[in-house]
Amino acid sequence: MIKFLLDENLDPRLRRELKRAQPEMVVWRVGDASTPPLQSPDPDILVWCEENDHVLVTNNRASMPGHLADHLIAGRHTPGILVIKKKMSWGVLIDELDFIWQNMSPDELADRIRYLPLARPDTLEE
């Protein structure tokens, strides 16, 4: 199953709400025990995600594509990166992550960035 690591810039309540929706979901946040410490550089977070098989969830649209490219050029891999829309509602975000967790295989996310919301009619905001 897909496991998530939430970027430290995301509201810490998101982890609690995801666990409330799906208690079996593995979801951690940067700064939690055994995860990269707060203020870790993005390249270090990508290495941790690779080594621990976690998909990164972030709102970093600016530099994350470049970090991923550098990571892949270095011969590394990543379970995937999910970049959320900055003004995405919590309900839609939780539904999107739950959908991904329940319906997508790790191969569908590996070594790429997917932008949320996914292009699914039931998740598009008006």
Report pLDDT for 124: 47
Question: Looking at the DSSP assignment, which residues form a beta bridge with residue 113?
Answer: 81
What is the distance between the alpha carbons of residues 7 and 30, in angstroms, rounded to a whole number?
Answer: 6
Judged against a pLDDT cut of 80, whether residue 122 lies above it is answered with no
35 near 44, Cβ under 8 Å? Answer: no
Cis amide linkage into residue 117, ω under 30° from 0? yes
pTM value surpassing 0.75: yes
CATH of region 4-117, choose from 3.40.50, 3.90.70, 1.25.40, 3.90.550: 3.40.50
What count of residues does the chain have? 126
Judged against a pLDDT cut of 80, whether residue 43 lies above it is answered with yes
Once rounded to an integer, what is the mean pLDDT over residues 12-34? 95
Once rounded to an integer, what is the mean pLDDT over residues 20-46? 96
Q: Where are the domains of the chain?
A: 4-117
56 near 46, Cβ under 8 Å? Answer: yes
Least confident of 24-28, 59-63, 109-113: 59-63
Judged against a pLDDT cut of 90, whether residue 125 lies above it is answered with no
Confidence of residue 49 (pLDDT cuts 50, 70, 90): very high
Report pLDDT for 13: 92
Percent of the chain with pLDDT over 90: 84
29 near 53, Cβ under 8 Å? Answer: no
- Higher-confidence residue: 33 or 121? 33
